[in-house]
Structure 1
Amino acid sequence: MSYKIEQPIGNNIYVYEVQSYWDKSKQQARQKRKYIGKKDPKTGNIITPRKSNLPRFSKDFGNVYLLKHIAQSIGLTDILKKIFPDDFKEILAFAYYDICESKALYLFKSWMEMTYLPQTKALTPKQITSFTRQMSSMEEERERFFNKWLDKRKPVNAVVFDITSLSGYSELIKLLEWGYNRDLEKLPQINFGVVFDQEGNIPLFYRIYPGSITDVKTLKNILKHLLANKLKQIIFILDRGFYSMSNISEMEEESIDFIIPFPFKVKQAITLISKHKAILQSPLSAFKFKKEVIYYIKDNIVLNDINLSAHIYFSKTREYYEQNHFMNRLLDIEDNIKKRTFYYLGNVREYLSQNFRGSEKLFDITLKEGKAYLTRKVKAISRKINKMGYMILLSNNHTITKEDALLYYRRRDYLEKLFDSLKNELDGKRLRGHSKETIEGRLYLKFISLILYSAISNKMKEQELFKKYSVKELLNEMKKIRVVEMTNGKQYITEISKKQSNILNAFDLEIPIDPRY
């Protein structure tokens, strides 16, 4: 059975006849399209075209046009071309696909068939597996890329280093080991450690570690790599996961400069807050940081005979938002408990722990006829609320100012968002590879995606485009710019809307005339 569809392209509406059929080889329903003509906007009649004016194809163009421009502007294309002269177009195409679609690589060929990248191979799933294995075997080339990319990004004064856990289902792969998983998943994982240029918000290089390796053991090797590339005055901005007395001692012993949050689970952190609470509420301690009023005091603290600077901050704005968020979560969990049936106290505690981490310590729980009743522990809740709005940053570099310490650490929020994008938007949370080689190759391709994703995010932030779009929404808007090729070989680009024109201007891009850019 056939039916007609209408496809608006620019100011015209093209009409196609669609015939559905069953593809026996692929065991799925497919469609054939036959171009009928152009719809007359006044009469609604179909104008049958001359053969030379028939559209041969219409493909997505604006999204890859933008991404290609970004890759060129940051120097990524040139470096990849020098190191992978035969494969750089495919490497970039995988990055475009990752950012635009966030889907598994086996769907890459279908995406390529709908996208205008005429000089790039539309690899099949089997060819993609071979390609990722090839990338894995090219370790020397990957290291050359990291070195050239580092050189391109100089000067680099501060780096952010963090590790995220990537889980997998293949228990035969040596890289996958049981270890501390930051997403609390019960799956073997590897740790993907990325070093970022802290000021430029761009990934510099990465290392892969088995899941059982302690995070801080990697810092010495990272530092050696940076020093070998003649980078000096390096400060590692670390997250709470790196904090331990042994790690602090080891970093000091290895002359690794760091900034790290002081967790409130450590007694000395609470003591510092109590000691300075009065001055942190006083107008005398206030300073302005990016339009926000922050209260601050600096103290020294000795841990394991190591003298550290303690930068203590209090924000009334953050206190309000943290308290509001916390109480909303608390009230929501109470409502959810009322709607559920429980027969064992252990099940209630498990539900609380899984849905609001730590909330099982905030309630007294009683069970009656399958219903759980929660009574708030006022002291436990008050203890949590009293910490809100406060933050302590420890550093063994005693020359860092209050502004720089806060700026460095808050920029880590950007890194956390990029890791979220790696795991979610870029489909990186589950490793779909079936061998050590495919995983190593896949992670290299992910890293290229992460560079490009960071670059587009930086520009969007600079131009305040996040007020209107997410990365994906912006690329979906640009995707509406299409290339149409006629049967006579002539190509043209569909009309560009005001929204699309504004995006192009924000990225310092001219409106494309010839699609063969």
Structure 2
Amino acid sequence: MGIIYSKNQKTGITYAYDNKPYWDPEKKQSRATRKLIGKVDPVTGEIVETRPYRKRAAEPSEKPKQGPIPVLNTERKFMGASYLMDQIGKETGVEQDLKLCFPNEYKQILSLAYYLIMEENNSLSRFSHWHRLHRHPFGKDIASQRSSELFQSITEDQRMNFFKKQGKRRIEKEYWAFDTTSISSYSDTLAQVKMGKNKEGDRLPQFNLALLFGEESGLPFYYRKLPGNITDVKTIKRLMQEFDVMGYQKVNMVLDRGFYSKENINWVYQSHQKFLIGLRLNLNYVKEVLEQERDNLQLWSNLDPQFGTYGICRSIEWEYTQDRPRKGDVLTEKRRAYLHLFYNDEKAAKDRVDQNELYTQLYYELTHNERKDYHAKDYAKYFDVVETPKRGVKVTAKEDVMKAEIRNYGYFAMLSNDVRDPFEALCLYRSKDIVEKGFGNLKDRLNFRRMQVSSELALDGKLFVGFIALIYLSYLKKKMQEAKLFDRWTLQGVLDEVDLIEVFQAPEVGKVIGEVTKKQKELFLSLGITPPSL
């Protein structure tokens, strides 16, 4: 017994059948009976059940239309911003996917996400006040205790199912930018809160969050929580494994150079995925090609005026290795890859300033006995330190090392197994900035810089609701950028302006939407959304 699929070539509809094999004693061969289950939704891949023909025939040809839900109370609330969120949920498919994955809780999840977006930096304890003034999907108050219960009810299976559905809407259409950030927490009860070094170099109790963004859509559709002491380079193998679980067969990834290791590149090749990754200039094969092309790289013919950057691409052979436990050997072969080298004058000037500031900071820490653990390797790399009882500490710069650093100011490199044009690679690589912006939105706008939860389940659930809010926020910001609204508006200004639209309801009159001003209509239309009306 199993499910088989058959596509009608005329209509393009794929049908799912319950296939039951049996043995035909007369013909002495295996046969099968098929029973129609339903149609396959082309977007979600879900099987939509159909009713038997006889049952349909016995039913009346037209069902009586369901009347409107009667209005039982009188109230007046703001609804414009919630209406905007509703339309974004339909455009992105988030509302539909949440409804399929969380049939009983999706309205509460949406209402909490709306609140996080509209009430910048406010804690969830103020939801009750916001609810009294605003229309939202759940339509009821969600007290702090109820929101905690909701967070703890969200399961890993539901989350992964949602990721699958969102990913299928964009897979093979764009490159995916992947990066991690750290979120501080002072809870002693969270297993993954560990001492780690954040992007600013501070050592704090924290956990890490990995985010995957679509380069073209600008939307996130996957995240994973990691222990605070896990470095970026250790996350790729698990990411490839989860791609398999979620059914992502063809993925194009953009990765920061912090994810680079020979093992990781081999894993991506082994998973048959496409990638573009930043490289460090101290890698032997990068140094070899850079020395060969250093003079050619700054020729006018290799300049792209749009980026103000020189760039070239050289085809190289990647030394691919793969352990094969079943065969008890290691497969070694060459794979084609494309090494992109770049030079930018502005970056050269900035590298000089940044590196000099680092030298000054390191020298001060050494001479004033204020050493930092995370600078230990830098001290040894750039300075000789001699300490004697009489003369104290003597710090001398390693000028040969510093000269080597100067030689590479302004240069940077990337590696890909797919992109051949250097400036296409540069454009794609810069798109990973959307992940940094996403982290900023999550921490600052959605108040996730310090997580105040007391259990793993509550943390997982709150992160998921914040992730849903981040999808809406990212979509809105992208639309505002495309319409150049940031020249005249802030994001909060747009939300405040459209939220002034009211909805009034009473038993005698039903629901009535208040006046929509010309300015509000223009904002909705600029965002590609039809203004609200009855």
Q: Same fold (TM over 0.5)?
A: yes
Superposed displacement of residue 146, structure 1: 2.0
Cross-structure match for 2:84: 66
Paired with 1:174 and 1:254, the residues of 2 have a C-alpha distance of 30
Superposed displacement of residue 227, structure 1: 4.2
Find the partner of 2:117 among 83, 99, 110: 99
Residue 511 of structure 1 aligns with an amino acid whose one-letter code is P
Cross-structure match for 1:310: 339
Superposed displacement of residue 76, structure 1: 1.2
1:345 aligns to 2:365 (yes or no): no
Paired with 2:231 and 2:307, the residues of 1 have a C-alpha distance of 36
Cross-structure match for 1:86: 104
Paired with 2:402 and 2:79, the residues of 1 have a C-alpha distance of 54
Cross-structure match for 2:477: 457
1:466 aligns to 2:486 (yes or no): yes
Distance 1:183 1:156, change over 3 A: farther
Instruction: Give the secondary structure class of the aligned counterpart of 1:188.
Output: strand
Instruction: Give the secondary structure class of the aligned counterpart of 1:346.
Output: coil
Cross-structure match for 1:478: 498
| Contact in 1 for aligned 2:117/2:473 (Cα 8 Å) | yes
Residue 448 of structure 1 aligns with an amino acid whose one-letter code is I
Cross-structure match for 2:413: 392
| Contact in 2 for aligned 1:362/1:376 (Cα 8 Å) | yes
1:413 aligns to 2:433 (yes or no): yes
Distance 1:326 1:217, change over 3 A: closer
1:148 aligns to 2:165 (yes or no): yes
Paired with 1:379 and 1:57, the residues of 2 have a C-alpha distance of 76
| Contact in 1 for aligned 2:211/2:435 (Cα 8 Å) | no
Superposed displacement of residue 329, structure 1: 11
Q: Map Cα deviations across residues 289-314 of structure 1 (whole Å, 9 max, x no partner).
A: xx434422123556767764210123
| Contact in 2 for aligned 1:286/1:293 (Cα 8 Å) | yes
Residue 368 of structure 2 aligns with an amino acid whose one-letter code is L
TM-score when normalising by structure 2: 0.69
Instruction: Give the secondary structure class of the aligned counterpart of 2:479.
Output: helix
Residue 282 of structure 1 aligns with an amino acid whose one-letter code is L
Instruction: Give the secondary structure class of the aligned counterpart of 1:190.
Output: strand
Cross-structure match for 1:296: 311
1:448 aligns to 2:468 (yes or no): yes
| Contact in 1 for aligned 2:250/2:273 (Cα 8 Å) | no
Superposed displacement of residue 483, structure 1: 4.5
Cross-structure match for 2:346: 320
Paired with 1:213 and 1:324, the residues of 2 have a C-alpha distance of 30
Find the partner of 2:226 among 200, 209, 216: 209
Residue 110 of structure 1 aligns with an amino acid whose one-letter code is H
Distance 1:463 1:390, change over 3 A: farther
Cross-structure match for 2:5: none
- Structure 1 stretch 207-216 or stretch 419-428: which is displaced more? 207-216
Instruction: Give the secondary structure class of the aligned counterpart of 1:297.
Output: strand
| Contact in 1 for aligned 2:196/2:204 (Cα 8 Å) | no
Superposed displacement of residue 267, structure 1: 6.3
| Contact in 1 for aligned 2:183/2:209 (Cα 8 Å) | yes
Q: Aligned residues: percent identity?
A: 28
Residue 87 of structure 1 aligns with an amino acid whose one-letter code is E
Aligned length: 435
Distance 1:300 1:346, change over 3 A: farther
| Contact in 1 for aligned 2:175/2:214 (Cα 8 Å) | yes
Q: Map Cα deviations across residues 20-77 of structure 1 (whole Å, 9 max, x no partner).
A: xxxxxxxxxxxxxxxxxxxxxxxxxxxxxxxxxxxx8764432222122111122111
Paired with 2:523 and 2:409, the residues of 1 have a C-alpha distance of 39
Cross-structure match for 1:195: 212
Q: Map Cα deviations across residues 411-449 of structure 1 (whole Å, 9 max, x no partner).
A: 101121111211221112221111011001111111111
Paired with 1:74 and 1:185, the residues of 2 have a C-alpha distance of 37
1:163 aligns to 2:184 (yes or no): no
Distance 1:91 1:107, change over 3 A: same
| Contact in 1 for aligned 2:171/2:251 (Cα 8 Å) | no
- Structure 1 stretch 219-228 or stretch 192-201: which is displaced more? 219-228
Distance 1:143 1:255, change over 3 A: closer
Distance 1:418 1:480, change over 3 A: same
Instruction: Give the secondary structure class of the aligned counterpart of 2:195.
Output: coil
Find the partner of 1:176 among 187, 193, 197: 193
TM-score when normalising by structure 1: 0.71
Superposed displacement of residue 466, structure 1: 3.0
Cross-structure match for 1:496: 517
1:438 aligns to 2:453 (yes or no): no
Q: What are the equivalent positions in structure 2 for 1:41-56 lying under 5 Å apart?
A: none
Cross-structure match for 1:372: none
Instruction: List runs of 5+ in structure 1 lacking aligned partners.
Output: 1-55, 365-374
Q: CA RMSD in A?
A: 4.2
1:429 aligns to 2:452 (yes or no): no
- Structure 1 stretch 451-460 or stretch 474-483: which is displaced more? 474-483
Cross-structure match for 2:19: none
